[in-house]
Structure 1
Amino acid sequence: MSSLPDWLIAIIGVVFPGLGDPNIIEYNGYVEGDYVYVAPAAVGRIVSIQVAEGEAVSAGQNLFQSDDTHQSAMLRAAQAEVDVARANLENLATGGREAEINVVVASLDQAKADQHLAQATLERSQRLLAAGAVSQARVDGDLASLQSANARVAQLQAQLSVAELPARNAQRIAAEATLEAALARLDDARSALDDRTVEAPVGGRVDMVFYEQGEVALAGAPVVSILPSDSLKALFYIPEADRTQMSLGDIFDVSCSGCPTEVTARLTRLAATPQYTPPIIYSSEERSRLVFRAEAALDNAGGLLPGQPLSLRPRE
């Protein structure tokens, strides 16, 4: 039985929660928020900021825009590379152009005409040789002309066959690889351009805006911080004597000045090592000064603000 009068215990309980009744276990702590810091992927000058401090935002909502002049130019260049690579591949797949083939066909027709003329000339010379009207040298010369015409026809026929065929497999593979590389650069350029517009990764409330329009933000430097609506937690310290009685998932009733009714907290983190206040003396007298940091997720925490003092009482 307590040696203090009931009225004094009541007053102490109001002024110092948890100290009025020695049978009540209560821990003092405060509200803390897990902020999300939104930063650009690359350095750039901020051209517009679409949100203000204290404003509610939704996931996917535009937060700020960085200058994208360079990224837009790189995207256009990458698209041009893709167009060139695709046209080259299509050209190799269909063989030579029609105009080029027509030139070879015309040359082949001329060569065949020369071939026919050389054949007729040789036959006439052979008849004249039999009649003794021409020399053997004349016949030999006409034979050489025919052989040359035959070779020319064969050459142009082979050239026409090559022009009408698609490219060799190795050339086609190289052209396909070139197109794939160009497409990859296009994707990279498009991604770099998209990164210039930064969206909210989560919904919540804008806590701070660290830059002004026109300032240069470094890569990874936060421009906006967001406090998600479900990120509030209670941070408090548990004495060593109570540490072994706590388990993750334990429920606490939460009270504070102006707190909403029925606020609870669920223990989500409990430090494995203690914290203490100097002097560091590991004696039985000093062990009571050792405390363990604990965190508990808050439920029904509407209206609570980071830094607000809390009292947490373990639920039986």
Structure 2
Amino acid sequence: MRARRAAVFGVALAVCCALAGCGQRADTHATYQGYVEGEFVYLSSSQSGTLAQLFVRRGQTVAGNTPVFTLESVDETAALQQAQHQLAAAQAQLADLQTGKRPPEVGVTKAQLVQAIANAHKAALQLTRDEAQFRMGSVSQQQLEDSRANAQTSAAQVREMQNQVDVANLPGRAQQIDAQAAQVAADRAAVAQAQWKLDQKRVSAPRAGLVYDTLYRVGEWVQAGNPVVQMLPPQNVKVRFFVPETVVGSLAAGGSVTIRCDGCAADVPATITYISSEAEYTPPVIYSNESRAKLVFMIEAHPSTADAPRLHPGQPVEVRAP
């Protein structure tokens, strides 16, 4: 805060000098003091782990989607494989419920039906003979009743086996299929979750930019959420400068300014992107009609992405406004 106030005070002094030299009228090509600021992007993982690989170094410029670092992922890889196997098992069970019994199993049931039909036919013939013999008095009442019961039992077995054949050709009940389908959906979600956790162990640059700093070394433990790489995309480089009250009204967002810095081979054009709506006072903070010249407004301007690498955060600059 002290540094900022000192910078603002210096700017105000320069503004006052400029105003004094032009009879309280703003110079049409006035120069204002400012500084470069960078809005850094801190790359981190939502998962904890040991830093396994660091693919970039400080000062390197990388393209978007370039791999930046990876954390060890043994546990996440195993969890993903487990979830995939559980999903495969659930899908197989659902397919089994939807198709009914296998053809060989249906064939066994059909063979048992054929055997039951033969037994029923044999029992029916025996009953017919016993009824004829009973009328002639050759068999007892007990034998006739046994033959009749045997024929009824054989006929019932035929009906039972026929129903078993029909059931074998049917899929599972609708409720069973719905329950298994829900299990498949749950296992598929578990696979997606495990894949997401594994992907979080591999971090890439969201956009092109400068690797401003690396904050961990390979082999160190990284807590979830802690930044590993500090990046500065060119579009996040901006210049802040301050203008007096008498000048701010002539500036507008989208307007052009020129930036001059030590060591720059040529001036850097920039576009005004923000004009503060609140005024600031340079010390001493005492308002009077005589101190209105100390009333300043902060302006932000962005250079083009091609020119941004020529500027460095913290660098003092001079801004020339039309």
Give me the TM-score of the superposition, normalised by structure 2.
0.86
Residues 1:183 and 1:170: Cα distance change in structure 2 (over 3 Å): same
Q: 1:256 and 2:261 equivalent?
A: yes
Q: CA deviation at 1:279?
A: 5.0
| Residues 91-240 of structure 1 aligned to structure 2 (within 5 Å) | 91-240=96-245
- Give 2:264's aligned amino acid: C
Candidates 234, 238, 245, aligned match of 2:250: 245
Contact residue 16 and residue 294 of structure 2 kept, 8 A: no
Pairwise CA distance, 1:135: 2.6
- Structure with the higher helix share, 1 or 2: 2
Q: Aligned equivalents of 1:311 and 1:17: distance in 2?
A: 12
- Confirm or deny: 8 A CA contact 2:258 2:267 kept in the other structure: yes
Identity of aligned residues (%): 35
Alignment length (residue pairs):
300
Give the Cα separation in 2 of the matches to 1:210 and 1:41: 16
Secondary structure, counterpart of 2:289 in structure 1: coil
Shift of 1:309: 0.9
Read off the aligned partner of 2:301 and give its amino acid letter.
A
The CA deviation at 1:66 is 0.3
In structure 1, the residue matched to 2:272 is 267
Letter of the 1:57 counterpart: V
Contact 2:248–2:297 (Cα < 8 Å) also in 1: yes
Q: SS of the residue aligned with 1:258?
A: coil
Residues of 2 paired with 1:302 and 1:183: CA distance? 46
Q: 1:309 aligns with which of 300, 303, 316?
A: 316
**1:82 matched to 2:87:** yes
Q: Which amino acid in the other structure matches residue 138 of structure 2?
A: A
Report which stretch shifted further, 271-280 or 30-39.
Answer: 271-280
Read off the aligned partner of 2:213 and give its amino acid letter: M
- CA distance in 2 between counterparts of 1:78 and 1:301 reads 47
Question: Which one of the candidate residues 53, 57, 71 is aligned to 1:52?
Answer: 57
Counterpart of 2:144, as a letter, is V
TM-score normalised per structure 1: 0.87
Deviation at 1:172, TM superposition (A): 2.5
Q: Is the 8 A contact 2:42 2:231 kept in 1?
A: yes
Per-residue CA deviations over 1:169-211 (Å, capped at 9, x if unaligned) read 3333333332222222222222221221111111111101111
Kindly report the root-mean-square deviation, in angstroms, between the aligned alpha carbons of the 2 structures: 2.1
User: Aligned residue for 1:8?
Assistant: none
Q: Is the 8 A contact 2:16 2:293 kept in 1?
A: no
Q: Answer with 162-171 or 279-288: which moved more.
A: 279-288
| Aligned-partner Cα distance in 2 for 1:283–1:149 | 117
Gapped runs of 5+ residues in structure 2?
Answer: 1-13
Deviations 1:79-99 (A, max 9, x none): 101211121122122211234
Three-state SS of the structure 2 residue aligned to 1:285 is: helix
- Cα shift readout 1:44-103 (whole Å, capped 9, x = no counterpart): 211111111011111111111101001100111111012111211221222112343233
Q: Deviations over 1:86-140 (max 9, x none)?
A: 2112212221123432332233233222212211221111011110112333222
**Distance in 2 between the 1:25 and 1:47 partners?**
53
SS at match of 2:42: strand
SS in 1 for 2:30: coil
1-structure distance, mates of 2:275, 2:42: 25
Contact 1:18 1:25 in 2 (8 A): no
Question: Cα 1:162–1:96, aligned 2, differ >3 Å: closer, same or farther?
Answer: same
Aligned residue number for residue 287 of structure 1:
292
Query: What is residue 47 of structure 2 aligned with on the other side?
Result: 42
Tell me by how many angstroms 1:302 deviates: 4.2
Preserved contact between residue 18 and residue 26 of structure 1 (Cα < 8 Å)? no
Q: Is the 8 A contact 1:260 1:303 kept in 2?
A: no
In structure 1, the gaps of 5 or more residues are 1-15
Deviates further, 290-299 or 74-83: 290-299
Give, as a single letter, the amino acid of the residue that structure 2 aligns with 1:132. Answer: G
